[in-house]
Structure 1
Amino acid sequence: MLVARYSAVAHRTAALLGAGNEAEDVVQEAFVKAFRHLSGFRREAAFKPWLLRIVANETHTMTRSRGRRVDLVLKIGAEPEQRAPGDPEGAAIATDRRARLLEAVRTLPEGERNAVICRYFLQLSEAETAEVLGCPLGSVKSRTFRGLAKLRKEVGHELS
């Protein structure tokens, strides 16, 4: 039941944090580790951030052991922008905006990139993001603020 419920968000997390084509392996290993350590899970805690922390750790371990940086493979399950049917100009503009935004996210420093990804692509709360990234809540707030400021500067006022 837990695999069915959290598999999609675990895959998105692994891919967004840099697992690329190895996201499937990362997620499988994360679920195995979660199962092995389920007895250590605090019942009063939320399962999703706990699992995503394991996914983030596995992704970090995999990318570090690889010895090179992998370009982010962004798989966004976002709703398509609303536009008039048959509006090729609107579709082209939306595609261009999305591509520029994703490229700008890829260039952010790792801490800021991960905070922005968790908050806005995975739609986690600040507390959940702190738990997933294993850092204080204040760090999440400052990294997100700095990351968004850089994105606004890079991409323009489209993010306002």
Structure 2
Amino acid sequence: MARSGTSEIATTEANLIRQAQQGETAAWETLVRQHQEAVFRLAYLLLRDAHEAEDVAQEAFVRAFVALDKFDGERPFKPWLLQITRNLAKNRLRSLSRYWAMIKQYWQQEPVPEPDSMTQDESVQLWQAVQRLRPNAQEVIYLRYFLEMSEQETAVALNIPAGTVKSRLHRALKQLKVVIEADFVELREVIG
């Protein structure tokens, strides 16, 4: 029964995409509502700034809308949209890094670290532990586990082969375990 529900969702999404490609605004707005949280979260994961993430999310939807007529409706929409988001966020990071380097050079100061907002909640601690990983490791864990995407969908979103997703995921989870064992004692029981 779950299969038919999944099939209905895919059919509904495919119909929404076709309708949006034909210029139906309501269909596009529905697609945006369905995916805006995932797009924002990925942008925030990469940028760690809510305002920057909002800008990137908006730009990702604009770019997706402009390129919608070229989108292959046989492919899943979410990975394609997240790939656009990822590319925009990476470009933004490069721009921000250059800007920050110029500021540091001008003032010759180190950046002021953001205050920790540690809580006892395990999900917050897990999120903090994931954020200590390299960006590639964060992305693959986020897409695969936080957004519950398949390995194939993750591969499409990251624009890498599915085998690379498996190896990155394996390395990322090993690194995450080390971080948790070292710095997040309360989560040790969770990861077993």
Superposition deviation, residue 126 in structure 1: 0.8
Q: Encode CA deviations 1:15-60: one digit per residue, 9 max, x unaligned.
A: 1222522111101100110011111101110111111111111111
Equivalence map 1:124-143=2 (5 Å): 124-143=149-168
Q: What is the TM-score with the length of structure 2 in the denominator?
A: 0.65
Of 39, 42, 47, which residue of structure 2 is paired with 1:18? 47
Superposition deviation, residue 99 in structure 1: 4.3
Q: 1:40 to 1:23 in 2, by over 3 A?
A: same
Superposition deviation, residue 101 in structure 1: 2.6
- 2:83 matched to 1:58? no
SS at match of 2:74: coil
SS at match of 1:124: coil
Superposition deviation, residue 110 in structure 1: 1.9
Task: Identify the structure with bigger relative contact order (alpha carbons < 8 Å, sequence gap 6+).
Answer: 1
Counterpart residue identity of residue 36, structure 1: V
Counterpart residue identity of residue 140, structure 2: A
Of 136, 148, 152, which residue of structure 2 is paired with 1:123? 148
Give the distance between the partners of 1:98 and 1:43, measured in 2 at CA.
35
Q: Which runs of 5 or more structure 1 residues have no equivalent in the other structure?
A: 72-91
Superposition deviation, residue 153 in structure 1: 2.2
Give the distance between the partners of 2:123 and 2:151, measured in 1 at CA.
24
Q: Which runs of 5 or more structure 2 residues have no equivalent in the other structure?
A: 1-29, 102-112, 114-118, 182-187
Total equivalences in the alignment: 137
The aligned residue for residue 106 of structure 1 is: 131
Equivalence map 1:27-66=2 (5 Å): 27-66=57-96
CA contact 2:60–2:81 (8 Å) conserved in 1? yes
Give the distance between the partners of 1:17 and 1:131, measured in 2 at CA.
17
CA contact 1:19–1:62 (8 Å) conserved in 2? no
Superposition deviation, residue 100 in structure 1: 3.8
**Deviates most, 28-37 or 105-114:** 105-114
CA contact 1:19–1:26 (8 Å) conserved in 2? no
Q: What is the TM-score with the length of structure 1 in the denominator?
A: 0.77
- 2:177 matched to 1:152? yes
Superposition deviation, residue 5 in structure 1: 1.5
Give the distance between the partners of 2:158 and 2:173, measured in 1 at CA.
17
- Give the helix-richer structure, 1 or 2: 2
SS at match of 2:95: helix
SS at match of 1:44: coil
Counterpart residue identity of residue 145, structure 2: Y
Q: 1:99 to 1:47 in 2, by over 3 A?
A: closer
Give the distance between the partners of 1:6 and 1:100, measured in 2 at CA.
25
